[in-house]
Amino acid sequence: MEEYLQQGLSEKEAVKQALAQMGDADIIGKQLDLVHKPKPEWTILLLSFLFVNIGLLAMYFIQKQSLLIYDSILFEKSLLYSLMSLIFIIGLYFFDYRKLERFSKHFYIGTLLILIFTVFWGIQVKGSNSWLAIGPFIVNVVAVIPFLFIAALAGIFNKWDWSSPLKLVQG
């Protein structure tokens, strides 16, 4: 901009020329997004896909040979859960999770309420009262809760004021 001012342009004209030289913000933003977009780890994805399919194949052959007495549809259930997981993972890949940050306190309170509900009214499986029936699915809540707490606390602590020890105690 100083160059344009030295050339004798008015301040408004110098600003216009400087902005024109920088380029359109939308176009530059899209170009930066393309350059800095994270690339998937294809080797990890391929290995995961391979191991899931090996497991499914093993379950198919075990079921085909009638080696399981207690669960006659193990392969079908595993295939269904694998497909549901794949859809869920693809959805998470394209979802902008930063939009959830403003609801972090709500997630924390909701997770705490689910944990309390499960402790008092959960389904007992193999002596543990940590299971909850959600429709046709039975979920081990105690296994999932730590991940929900970590996600909620990450959003809460991201906006936390760490400058004063007193504010750490007050919240």
pLDDT tens, residue by residue, 119-160:
898 888 888 888 998 888 888 999 999 999 999 999 988 878
Least Cα distance to 55 among 38, 69, 37, 75 occurs for 75
Contacts of 143 (CB under 8 A, 6+ apart): 130
Q: Using H for helix, E for strand and C for coil, what is the string for 37-48?
A: CCCCCHHHHHHH
Residue-wise pLDDT for 81-106, tens only, equals 999 999 999 998 888 888 889 999 99
What are the structural domain ranges in the chain? 1-37, 41-95, 98-171
